[in-house]
């Protein structure tokens, strides 16, 4: 896939060691590293906490994005809902930003998450108050601001939620 190609189809897939080469080359501008860790840092946390599940966003056979779905008791700083999944560290490599990949990933993420964790009822995320681009994208993708705020590593974060109940999980 050339750098200026428009993205048509993307897939979400569990992280495997073969993705490491691509993920180690991911780059974010300084303005974005305030809000999200690079995949290598997130993967270290996933190794320490088996309730953190890493996934890769693939376009044209190439890993172009990354995120973690976190379940279990350690999501309690963000929600007390035992039936929630915490979306962490969603990012698109700088070389592939601006092509609608994050938007498409967020469109297919609810059904994807529901298939992996069928007993869960919502996706929760924390977005930095200053990250207007991400907040707008999440709102347009069906997340709503819960009104709950939490202090994060770079300031206040808003907790947003997407309800999974009633989703059709038989999508192709």
pLDDT score of 14: 97
Q: Which domain holds residue 151?
A: 10-163
Residue 2 lies in a domain: no
Mean pLDDT score, 63-91: 93
Full-model pTM: 0.88
Assess contact for 157 and 151: CB atoms under 8 A. yes
Mean pLDDT on 147-170: 83
Helix H, strand E, coil C: the string for 86-129 is: EEEEEEECHHHCCCCHHHHHHHHHHHHHHHHCCCCCEEEEEEEC
Q: Mean pLDDT throughout 48-69? A: 94
Residue 142 lies in a domain: yes
pLDDT band for position 166 (50/70/90)? low
What is the tally of structural domains in the chain? 1
Residue 63 lies in a domain: yes
Whether 148 is in a domain gets the answer yes
CATH number at residue 141: 3.40.630.30
């Amino acid at each position: 896939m050339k750098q200026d190609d428009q993205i048509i189809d993307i897939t979400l897939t569990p992280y495997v060691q073969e993705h490491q080469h691509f993920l180690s080359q991911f780059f974010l501008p300084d303005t974005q590293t305030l809000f999200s860790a690079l995949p290598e840092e997130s993967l270290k946390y996933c190794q320490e906490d088996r309730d953190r599940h890493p996934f890769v966003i693939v376009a044209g056979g190439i890993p172009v994005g990354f995120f973690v779905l976190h379940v279990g008791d350690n999501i309690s700083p963000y929600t007390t809902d035992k039936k929630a999944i915490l979306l962490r560290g969603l990012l698109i490599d700088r070389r592939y930003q601006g092509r609608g990949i994050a938007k498409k990933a967020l469109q297919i993420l609810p059904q994807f998450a529901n298939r992996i964790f069928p007993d869960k009822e919502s996706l929760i995320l924390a977005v930095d108050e200053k990250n207007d681009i991400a907040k707008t994208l999440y709102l347009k993708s069906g997340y709503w601001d819960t009104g709950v705020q939490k202090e994060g590593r770079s300031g206040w974060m808003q907790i947003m939620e997407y309800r999974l109940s009633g989703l059709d999980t038989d999508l192709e």
